[in-house]
Chains A and B, each alone.
Chain A
């Protein structure tokens, strides 16, 4: 009567299997909540219409098409909203008994969180697909060809993956899902709106412009615009992150991943301790 039925695997192998199983669980749960998927699909459609037509008709960008200009911004911004949703979901999770049961099982401590983060990316794909269709409908085109466009989306998804860990941390720290919503919404709105997502930063007041230029979200948006071929004019001079937006995005994502995954896992292990 032994508890262990499988031949011993290495701990890395086991960790991968645990993470796979945790992801699978979140995907099954995700499928059972069509209202959430529906909402996540509807949201970007509303944004494209709202900003593209309602505001877009009175915003002009020098020498370019505003819809094309806007889309990278909306792609990048949706990753911010997704990370805020992760925060709320994780805070909700942690108040449920099922996490306690998982903690009494011999699984890698990281697996549940990895499952949460990977499933967030996967469950966000329908929304991304719909957003791309909307973008194509309003006239956005990947001007540099399909290969660069795919690279652009990979970059944005890498950033989304990294951000999801910040969302997870907010969810682990928050005492309730409402608190997680508040904690995560403030940076999301600040970083999402004080940026080059909707407008060219050059017309902003200086103090705001500095913040917007150095805002990492602006770099992600700029990287997208470069790869999609929607860039208008040269980057503001002296802002390294906008002069090298692809490297900035990848570097930043990797730093967040390397630093915050261990922090999240440690925090998860001692929640309730």
Chain B
């Protein structure tokens, strides 16, 4: 797989980039092992797209260095371009061309030659369930079809490293899980993937490592498990059949002093995860209130962020994460 100088498919050191007064990236470093999936997780404006644009040679950083597929993004940009596939946050397909023509032209621009380009276009249309749409102008495509075509386009030259900027934003749940399946399929073939997302569950589903960025800084990173453990414990949520106030009070008393009532649910910290859940189920059976649902809820992305920003405000990055109220 090429002459990688390191084991990292993507390696970035202290990337920085400003747009006028806006400091889009302050200091972002990444090391992504070949063949793994890294999710860049962050809110709107966190700097995800800026990072992707720098790593894909679309934007020059103000500071820092990066290597992709073993080549420097600044001095060996064309080498990098030969080895990456990119699906940007916004559509990049030509509305006036058909799906097939779009794929074919990108194959030609990747120097696959006319014949191979046509062949790859056929294969990819098949793979992404766009065979019938292949002869249709892209301007008639739905949002989900465009997204799939965009992903297909970034795969035409079998890239070593794939960048996906919010690949599932705007997709319906079915299309979303199809996209996940397509990404997993690629990873199984050895492609390194850097994807950005605003959804913790997406990062959780797909990524080997998660890097959380906020206001241009890496504020947390690790495997999904490490991250969740560092950010806070799950809570157990009991939802009753109806909002019977007396029953809700009974449940709250049973769940301990930290329990709170929200609508027809009661939630409490689950200090021991599944064990707490099991204990709660037993208690509920004893109480005999009509229960609709009991489950564990993991911290949401919002909680991840308030925790992480809180920690930054403390000026003591090593301090244990405060569990948000």
Q: Which residues in A have some Cβ–Cβ distance to B below 8 Å?
A: 1-6, 9, 14, 17-18, 21, 24-25, 28-29, 32-33, 97-98, 100-107, 272-273
Determine the distance from Cα of A101 to Cα of B92 in the docked complex, in whole angstroms. 6
* Apart from A5-B157, A29-B94, A105-B110: 19 A-B pairs, beta carbons within 8 A: A1-B160, A3-B83, A3-B110, A5-B116, A14-B111, A18-B109, A24-B105, A32-B137, A97-B88, A97-B90, A97-B91, A101-B88, A101-B92, A104-B57, A104-B84, A104-B86, A105-B81, A106-B110, A273-B59
20 contacts between A and B (CB under 8 A): A1-B1, A4-B157, A6-B112, A9-B111, A17-B108, A21-B108, A28-B96, A32-B137, A97-B88, A97-B90, A97-B93, A100-B92, A103-B58, A104-B58, A104-B81, A105-B109, A106-B81, A106-B110, A106-B111, A272-B58
A29 surroundings in chain B (CB, below 8 A):
94, 96-97
* Cross-chain contact A103 with B94 (CB below 8 angstroms): no
Contact of A3 among B91, B96, B101, B157 (CB under 8 A): B157
Of all chain B residues, which has the CB nearest A33?
A: B96
Determine the distance from Cα of A231 to Cα of B81 in the docked complex, in whole angstroms. 55
B106 CB–A CB distance under 8 Å: yes
Taking the nearest CB of chain B, how far is it from the CB of A116, in angstroms? 13
* Cross-chain contact A102 with B111 (CB below 8 angstroms): no
Contact of B153 among A9, A14, A101, A103 (CB under 8 A): A101
Taking the nearest CB of chain B, how far is it from the CB of A117, in angstroms? 18
Determine the distance from Cα of A105 to Cα of B80 in the docked complex, in whole angstroms. 9
Can you list the 8 inter-chain pairs with the closest CB atoms, starting with the nearest?
Answer: A101-B92, A97-B92, A106-B81, A105-B109, A104-B86, A106-B82, A97-B90, A32-B96
- Contacts known (A101-B92, A104-B57); A2 close to B2, Cβ less than 8 A: yes
Determine the distance from Cα of A90 to Cα of B58 in the docked complex, in whole angstroms. 18
* Cross-chain contact B105 with A21 (CB below 8 angstroms): yes
Of all chain B residues, which has the CB nearest A105?
A: B109
B109 surroundings in chain A (CB, below 8 A):
18, 21, 102, 105-107
Identify whether the interface residues of B are mostly helix, strand, loop, or mixed: loop
* Interface 0/1 of B71-100, CB less than 8 Å to A: 000000010011110101011111011000
* Cross-chain contact A103 with B1 (CB below 8 angstroms): no
* Cross-chain contact A6 with B111 (CB below 8 angstroms): yes
Contact of A98 among B58, B83, B94, B111 (CB under 8 A): B94
Number of residues from B at the complex interface, CB < 8 A = 39
B170 CB–A CB distance under 8 Å: no
B158 CB–A CB distance under 8 Å: yes
Q: Which residues in B have some Cβ–Cβ distance to A below 8 Å?
A: 1-2, 56-60, 78, 81-84, 86, 88, 90-94, 96-97, 101, 105-106, 108-113, 116, 137, 153, 157-160, 189-190
* Cross-chain contact A3 with B106 (CB below 8 angstroms): no
Taking the nearest CB of chain A, how far is it from the CB of B105, in angstroms? 5
Determine the distance from Cα of A214 to Cα of B205 in the docked complex, in whole angstroms. 70
* Cross-chain contact B82 with A3 (CB below 8 angstroms): yes
Taking the nearest CB of chain B, how far is it from the CB of A180, in angstroms? 19
A107 surroundings in chain B (CB, below 8 A):
109
Determine the distance from Cα of A106 to Cα of B113 in the docked complex, in whole angstroms. 13
* Cross-chain contact B153 with A3 (CB below 8 angstroms): no
* Cross-chain contact B90 with A28 (CB below 8 angstroms): no
Of all chain B residues, which has the CB nearest A20?
A: B108
Determine the distance from Cα of A21 to Cα of B107 in the docked complex, in whole angstroms. 10
* Cross-chain contact B106 with A105 (CB below 8 angstroms): yes
Contact of B97 among A5, A28, A100, A103 (CB under 8 A): A28
Of all chain B residues, which has the CB nearest A112?
A: B109
Determine the distance from Cα of A28 to Cα of B190 in the docked complex, in whole angstroms. 36
* Cross-chain contact B57 with A103 (CB below 8 angstroms): yes
Contact of A272 among B59, B83, B92, B97 (CB under 8 A): B59
Contact of B189 among A1, A2, A25, A272 (CB under 8 A): A1
